[in-house]
Structure 1
Amino acid sequence: VYIVYLGINQFHDPILTSKFHIQVLSDVFASEEDAKRSILYSYSNSFSGFSAKLNSSQATILARMDKVVSVFRSKTLKLHTTRSWDFLGLTLDETRVTPMEFTNGQDVVVGIFDTGVWPESESFQEKPGMRPIPSSWKGVCVEGEKFEPAKACNRKLIGARYYLKGFEQEYGPLNMSGNPEYRSARDFLGHGTHTASTAAGSIVKNASFFGIGQGTARGGAPWARVAVYKICWGINGVGSCTEADIVAAFDDALHDGVHVISASFGATPPLSPFFASSADIGSFHAMQLGITVVFSAGNDGPEPSLVQNVAPWSLCVAASTIDRSFPTEIVLDRNFTIMGQSIISKEIKGRLANAITYFVDGVCSLGNWNKKLATGRVVLCFYTPGLVYEIAQVAVKTAKGLGLIFAEPFTKPIADVDDDIPTLHVDINQGTIIGNYLAESLKLPVVQISPSKTIIGKSPAPTVVYFSSRGPSSISPDILKPDITAPGINILAAWPPQTPPTLQPSDDRLVRWNFQSGTSMSCPHVSGVGALLKSVHPGWSPAATRSAIMTT
């Protein structure tokens, strides 16, 4: 599939523009009928272009035409996968002044480009006092599998579309057997529900993950309207978003009347030129219409020059910490205590064991497993270059271990929602202390791990997280990117109740709120702020909005 970009729409009429696209395409096909059969989308609302099934020779001929700006392959982009708003200063405390997010936002529509939405979530229910949908809104709620517009959409969730043509051309028909998905704007992967509720979710009290992180959940602009554009589809739990579908969503969203677009996806460098990138083309035309587009920077850090979504006319958001932590107590032989970080809701009790008992050279990877079983053991593993904790989790789980204590450099211990195997994160110093205690013990120590607690205000924050993609931009190093950082670690937000929190088939837990980390989570924080600014300063350009966010 190739995308043929023709620039600004010269006709200002979708029907005439689509006819023109067929005419252009007919130059490389034997007949007009063949041209019509090859086309996937005609982008004719907000700019001019189309996506079509072409061979390389046809693409080359089209690229040489004067009327064509660029021709490029439709690549597949990936997703960049509570307390945070208080930390940013958008408090719900009404004792001094009425919070800005209470009084603003109803006239603003936030477009979410992601995996869809779980419309029944409390985050997307209209609240009493919500005014009618703005008259400027031209969008629709599209019917689909388990998605009835009359029930799903309201004055809060005012738009829902889905885009499959590019995905199915690339991967074949959407596979529903053994690969849960909905052929509609309904979300299975959870990523889109999470980001939408972070940007503009309604205020919901007593949100928590099994009692952890309890508080009032809401988006940055809780009175803003939400319009969902499902462009990413699950393949074995991984969200994939084709550029042909992304451009179609931009074409519709700009015509529908969104004011802010939040897009948490991208492609690892090498980056395409600005005029050969779906995100850059779409956000350029959005900027021309006064629409602020916010992208995630990517999760490829800490090495430099891997930042994504670097166009100068959009916002690029890195991920940083907030002042909330989840200390988890580790007690050895009832007389020695050390604190790790985890998100564990049940007590764990077993025997502490050294990784070298089960893995060659003590490196906790599947390839190093010596086939000994670690039943009833909490295994102590250490970070080595290239060994991330997810690899250690799989290895210890395969060895039938009870739990994992993973020691890693000081910058990395971050609590995570784990189902594969309960995992405690400690730094190298703590891991060394635990390892020495184990070495000096005559028999394997009894280890008792308590349920995690929630502590606020004790952690130094914000600090940019190790995985957040860094600049300079590999395509335009003179333009500084990322633009700004926002909370992206253990963000609690809405979740589809039929989707396991870890997306693992073995995880039988059902939740309405889930923790997620990544620049995918920091991006909608800035989108929410952008929506508030648009409401307070409707005349501001995207550049003015970006400047205000970056400099205040």
Structure 2
Amino acid sequence: MAMSPLLFIVFLLMLLEPCSSSRSNVYIVYMGERHHGLRPELVQEAHHGMLAAVLGSEQAAMDAILYSYRHGFSGFAAVLTGGQAARLSDWPGVVRVVRNRVLDQHTTRSWDFMGVNPSPSGGGILLESRFGEDSIIGVLDTGIWPESASFRDDGIGEVPRRWKGRCVAGEKFNASNCNRKIIGAKWYVKGYEAEYGKMNTSDIYEFMSARDAVGHGTHTASTAAGALVANASFRGLAKGVARGGAQRARLAVYKVCWATGDCTAADILAAFDDAIHDGVDVISVSLGQAPPLPAYVDDVLSIGSFHAVAKGVVVVCSAGNSGPYSETVINSAPWIVTVAAGTIDRIFLAKIILGNNSTYVGQTLYSGKHPSKSVRIVYAEDISSDNADDTDARSCTAGSLNATLVKGNVVLCFQTRAQRSASVAVETVKKARGVGVIFAQFLTKDIASSLDIPCVQVDYQVGTAILAYTTSMRNPVAQFSFPKTIVGELVAPEVAYFSSRGPSSLSPSILKPDIAAPGVNILAAWSPAAAISSAIGSVNFKIDSGTSMSCPHISGVVALLKSMHPNWSPAAVKSALVTTANVHDAYGFEMVSEAAPYNDANPFDYGGGHVNPNRAAHPGLVYDMGVSDYMRFLCSMGYNTSAISSMTQQQTTCQHTPKSQLNLNVPSITIPELRGKLTVSRTVTNVGPALSKYRARVEAPPGVDVTVSPSLLTFNSTVRKLPFKVTFQAKLKVQGRYTFGSLTWEDGTHTVRIPLVTSQTQRTQPLPQQSPGSGFSGGSGAGAGAGLFVVAPPASAIDAAGGGGGGRRWLLRRRRRGRAGEGSDEGIGAGTRRAATSMRKRREEKSRFSHLVFWKAESNCHKVKPTN
């Protein structure tokens, strides 16, 4: 029987395919929103039938498929060749076919610092939400250690009847490991094993179950919803009551990351699908992909979170740890709550006592055994190995030091642009059998987790003084004291150095990050299976830093908000967080951003500001929106209309307008290219008292006139939602850099603030003369100066701060606002240099040393493999 020409061509293509694209990889076939009329099992059958048609048999399809996404959306992950993937991409109903990607993980005082504690008056978000009772937080991470005291279910009621999830058994984990706190636990490894081969747990200490072998997932879960644990500490540091934000919230654990530090897209998307089906209220995701970022329609976190938000689930993600560079923020889709990291008012200080009796203070987390007597100090550059560069040796880069000269000594290292990590320096010295490290660096509160040998981090000023002593003495020696926990003396919050900054590289007209939360030196539960060092072994609680730690703080706050306001949309929840956030520190001054040197923080550092949970519970007004608004946003990004329709299962006709992104109803306004005059629109919904009047107050970005119309919004029982317009008029010919301001609606009780961000570009014609309009016009205000806290504390500081009085506090509290440019220059103790500087001097230093801003931060405590 003769073969038809068409079948002959298909046969030839099948023969040629192995030659041209025979290498198999994991691909995700995304088919958009699941048809509501189809049961999940029928969707799965359709996936198998479709794949069988391409692969040639049902058995081949069964062997190739890893996951069938059939609950929150439709699609599947399968092992395919490039040719097979290309054929599937042309299949009717297929939105996208993308390669499996590997994503990275991004780590108690913090809740008290944010004011989330029972109020004596009976008010506050914690009591009003009943401690987050029955909210369900889904955590996509490395799993959980269920035996931790942070996951006890004392005082928690029965599992909510709406819950559809379950506990999946596995290695050293079964259904009995769940309780009324941990109500779900699943694990996903098919995507990982398809990329890297079968997991070899004999080489990698890992559990083929939801049990956490890394610690990261246990830390994030307990931060969001851990129970009260008395006398918790990390080897005696930060001792006190550990607790999560939403203590009566439930946890659903989705293990998608493994001990290697890798988390694959196929596994993550499967976890999103299950979490949506299971009935979580919040999804907390402390992981992401480093820049360059894929398009939103190709990014699994954007896709999975889109479908979650469409079902009313709030998705909270970490902003990334690539700061302080601009345009490094990740997880930047407008439907995601993207979280930056800030500091809290706690620090761990130790003394360095030199042989000449000079004493300096630095930071350390080392609380192990110290040498009983003073030890010789050597300067790293003076003991470099034969082939090492001086710069590498100075920063104690791996292999840069002469091991013979290191042995038995304390090594003084200086941070350089090439090597910024104290952790690397510690490892270098430890391998050479040194007994300690003094690491001089820019001023930061993120402390390297040095646990095998002591490492004291100091600023450059102290480091330089110790270097002068070391080079001038024949036998320079030093001794370290044990660290002490100092609380309440620090100016906070500040934006952490490592926290990724905006603007978004994908959509610069959408302000990212959205919000900042505590993410530096956070104490939370840890997995005992994750040995933190060869000398110490396992711990039950650990101090860690990163946007991985700030993310679950916001997830916990969201759980509290959802308990109070179960009908709020994800956009309303985000708006409540952003519009009520703090942009000043605890002493009333504008927040600063850790950098080199320090800068005034701006919305690209913290979004709306540092979270204020109690104010977020009663925001007054919210900037609300839904799926149709996000569809218009996707249209404005230039994505294919049919792809958007498949993604949302709603017929979409894209009508591109220049301002379509600018008019997305987010709680901020960002104009990357302001030319002349531009008007954008927003709508607010009243969630406060029905009878309310709000008046606009504007702080315009420098060089821009801003007018709001109308400037008065009046709500009543029938009018709950009102639109307004904001007009921006550029006053400069060309500027080329971002400037910042704000728009605030006030009713005498509520303050609803959004950031204004503009960057002016060259106008095509001169500005016409403008007459005053009828709307409210705001001008640019002058900032008041403030002195900084001291850089180099005196040696007596620890004793003074930790005792019952007598000494001055070494971290100087900045004075209340005074005249512009005025700063505090108060001395703080005998023999202490005047180290406080005025705002004017800070600005001069910023100008003189602006090149230092471009140092890339490396989070000392956040190595992706095996943990961060």
Q: Which residue matches 2:732?
A: none
Matched, 1:390 2:411: no
Match of 1:61 among 87, 99, 112: 87
Match of 1:245 in 2: 267
2:75 maps to 1:49: yes
Deviation, structure 1 residue 413: 5.3
1:264 and 2:297 are equivalent in the alignment: no
**Do 1:104 and 1:536's aligned partners in 2 also have CA atoms closer than 8 Å?**
no
Cα distance between partner residues in 2 of 1:84 and 1:40:
40
SS in 1 for 2:180: coil
* Letter paired with 1:416: A
Q: 1:368, CA displacement in angstroms?
A: 2.2
The residue aligned with 1:275 is 297
- Cα distance in structure 1, aligned partners of 2:232 and 2:218: 15
1:476 aligns with 2:507: yes
Instruction: State the Cα distance separating 1:100 from its structure 2 match.
Output: 3.3
Aligned to 2:846: none
Mean Cα deviation higher: 365-374 or 278-287:
365-374
Of residues 153, 178, 181, the one that matches 1:153 is 178
- CA–CA separation in structure 1 for the residues paired with 2:380 and 2:42: 67
Given the alignment of the two structures, is residue 401 of structure 1 paired with residue 401 of structure 2, yes or no?
A: no
Mapped to 2, the partners of 1:296 and 1:131 lie a distance apart of 31
C-alpha contact 2:215 2:527 (8 A) present in aligned 1: yes
Query: Equivalent pairs: percent with the same residue?
Result: 51
State the partner residue of 1:493. Answer: 524
CA distance in 2, matches of 1:379, 1:173: 42
SS of 2:557's equivalent in the other structure is: helix
| Structure of higher CA gyration radius | 2
Match of 2:753 in 1: none
Partners in 2 of 1:36 and 1:442 — Cα distance?
Answer: 74
Report the Cα offset of residue 372 of structure 1: 2.4
Worse-superposed segment, 54-63 or 309-318: 54-63
Q: Deviations over 1:155-174 (max 9, x none)?
A: 11111011111111111111
Deviation sequence 1:249-270 (CA, Å, 0-9, x none): 1111101000001010111111
- Alpha carbons of 1:153 and 1:99: their partners in 2 closer, same or farther (altered >3 Å)? farther
Partner of 1:207: 232
1:507 and 1:262 map into 2 onto residues whose CA distance is 33
* 1:191-238 C-alpha deviation (Å, 9 max, x unpaired): 000000000011111111121101111111011011100011112xxx
Deviation at 1:248, TM superposition (A): 0.6
8 Å Cα contact 1:380/1:404 also seen in 2 = yes
Match of 1:437 in 2: 469
Q: Partner of 1:244: helix, strand, or coil?
A: helix
- Tell me how far 1:99 sits from its aligned partner: 5.2
Q: Is structure 2 residue 534 aligned with structure 1 residue 534?
A: no
From 41, 46, 52, the counterpart of 1:26: 52
Are residue 5 (structure 1) and residue 5 (structure 2) matched? no
Name structure 1 gaps, 5 residues minimum.
none
Instruction: Give the CA deviation at 1:546.
Output: 0.4
1:18-417 mapped onto 2 (5 Å cutoff): 18-92=44-118, 94-97=119-122, 100-102=125-127, 103-128=130-155, 130-150=156-176, 152-235=177-260, 239-333=261-355, 335-346=357-368, 347-348=370-371, 349-359=374-384, 360=388, 361=390, 362-363=393-394, 364-388=396-420, 389-410=422-443, 412=444, 414-417=446-449
What is the CA RMSD across the aligned residues, in angstroms?
A: 1.5
3-state secondary structure, aligned to 2:377: strand
CA distance in 2, matches of 1:98, 1:543: 25
Distance 1:367 1:345, change over 3 A: closer
Please identify, of 353-362 and 277-286, the stretch whose mean Cα deviation from structure 2 is larger.
353-362
Cα distance in 2 for partners of 1:104, 1:370 equals 56
Structure 2 unaligned regions, length at least 5: 1-25, 581-868
Instruction: For residue 538 of structure 1, report the CA deviation from its aligned partner.
Output: 0.4
Residues 370, 334 of structure 1: alpha-carbon distance in 2 compared, 3 angstrom cutoff: closer
Instruction: Measure, in 1, the Cα distance between the counterparts of 2:432 and 2:234.
Output: 28
Measured after TM superposition, the shift of residue 127 of structure 1 is 1.2
Describe the shift of the 1:12–1:81 C-alpha distance in structure 2 as closer, same or farther (beyond 3 A): farther
Tell me the amino acid that sits aligned with residue 427 of structure 2: V
The offset of 1:515, in angstroms, is 0.6
4+ residue segments displaced more than 6 Å:
none
Alpha-carbon separation, structure 2, partners of 1:399 and 1:153: 45
- Answer yes or no: is the 8 Å Cα contact 2:452–2:536 preserved in 1: no
TM-score of the two chains, using structure 2 as the length reference: 0.61
Alpha-carbon distance change, 81 to 171 in structure 1, aligned in 2, over 3 angstroms: farther
SS of the equivalent of 1:326 reads strand
Residue pair 1:81, 1:520 contacting (<8 A) in 2 also:
yes
1:462 aligns with 2:490: no
Code of the aligned partner of 1:127: D
Deviation at 1:370, TM superposition (A): 2.9
Deviations 1:368-427 (A, max 9, x none): 2234232321111111111122222222112211000000122x3532321243211111
1:446-457 equivalent positions in 2, closer than 5 A:
447-457=478-488
> Is the partner of 2:55 in helix, strand or coil?
coil
Q: Distance in 1 between matches of 2:106 and 2:360?
A: 33
Moved more, 216-225 or 389-398: 389-398
Deviations 1:322-367 (A, max 9, x none): 1111111111126111000111214444222211232252422233
Q: Is the 8 A contact 2:451 2:536 kept in 1?
A: no
Q: Please say if residues 330 and 337 of structure 1, whose CA atoms lie closer than 8 Å, have aligned partners that are also in contact.
A: yes
Please list the CA deviations of residues 45-67 of structure 1 after superposition, one character each: whole Å capped at 9, or x if unmatched: 11101001111111112112331
| Distance (whole Å) between structure 1 residues aligned to residue 561 and residue 285 of structure 2 | 18
Deviation of 1:111 after TM superposition, in Å, equals 0.5
Q: Is the 8 A contact 2:345 2:489 kept in 1?
A: yes
- For 1:72 and 1:165, the matched residues in 2 are separated by 16
Contact 1:488 1:520 in 2 (8 A): yes
- Whether the 8 Å CA contact 1:378–1:403 is kept in 2: the answer is yes
The question of whether the paired residues in 1 share the 8 Å contact of 2:322 and 2:500 is answered with yes
The Cα offsets for residues 450-479 of structure 1, whole Å up to 9 and x where unpaired, read as 111111111111111111111111111111
Residue 98 (structure 1) shift: 5.4
Q: What is the deviation of 1:508? A: 3.5
* SS of structure 2 residue aligned to 1:546: helix
Question: Using the alignment, how far apart are the partners of 1:413 and 1:45 within structure 2?
Answer: 43
Query: Which residue identity does 1:370 align to in structure 2?
Result: N
Q: Distance in 2 between matches of 1:125 and 1:413?
A: 32
Distance in structure 1 (CA, Å) of the matches to 2:246 and 2:262: 28
Deviations 1:423-463 (A, max 9, x none): 11111111001111112223222x11111111111111111
Contact residue 380 and residue 401 of structure 2 kept, 8 A:
no
Partner SS state of residue 197, structure 1: helix
Looking at structure 2, the residues matched to 426 and 402 of structure 1 have their Cα atoms a distance apart, in angstroms, of 17
Aligned equivalents of 2:550, 2:448: Cα separation in 1: 16
